Amino acid sequence: MGIRKALYPGSFDPITNGHLDIIERATKLFDKVVVAVGDNPDKEPLFSLEERLEMIRESLGKREDVEIARYSGLTAQYASDIHATAIIRGLRAISDFEYEFQMALANREIRKNTETIFLMPGLPYVFLNSTMVKAIARMGGDVSKFVPSTVLERIKKKYPIK
């Protein structure tokens, strides 16, 4: 049997403790998890693609079971290109489900052999997402519980946190 590889795609703008929790859960199910930052021209991220890749590298350190990459285009096609058998998606709440379900069905049409696996984060991260972290930081709030320390330092350079 070959290596079981999964793709965990996202914008990771910035990576949060919730993302890290999902990565840990995914590495228990797969031999290799490719954490891939999507280059989406329709979004205006706070951090550049290179900064986001660096933050992920800093947050995860050197690991045999995780690969960090960038991609553009269709997620399902990228999953096929890297021979991933699954796409990992985090589900925080019921409100995430409808969107994620539609994406999973679309991805299945594009790449029939790739399954979407939904993982729920641990309870401390159920409410957490990058958009919320940025909103709190923009208003001067403390986001230290939500992101790794290296990410916090980068956020502080963008927003003056009290």
Q: Is residue 147 part of a domain?
A: no
How many residues can be counted in the chain? 162
Number of Cβ atoms within 10 Å of the Cβ of 27:
17
Is 106 inside any structural domain? yes
Q: 93-129: per-residue pLDDT in tens?
A: 666 777 777 877 777 777 778 888 999 888 888 888 9
**Does position 1 have pLDDT exceeding 60, yes or no?**
no
- Is 120 a member of any domain? yes
Question: Of the residues 11, 130, 134, 154, which is catalytic?
Answer: 130
In a domain, 155, yes or no: no
25 is catalytic: no
Q: Let me know if residue 40 belongs to a domain.
A: yes
The CATH number of the domain holding residue 102 is 3.40.50.620
Whole-prediction pTM: 0.91
| Number of domains comprising the chain | 1
**Beta-bridge mates of residue 64:** none
From 11, 19, 111, 154, the catalytic residue: 19
Query: Is 130 among the residues known to form the active site?
Result: yes
Q: Which domain holds residue 19?
A: 5-126
Does 162 fall in a domain?
A: no
pLDDT tens digit string along 36-57? 999 887 888 999 999 999 999 9
pLDDT tens digits along 131-145: 999 999 999 999 999
| 83: annotated active-site residue | no
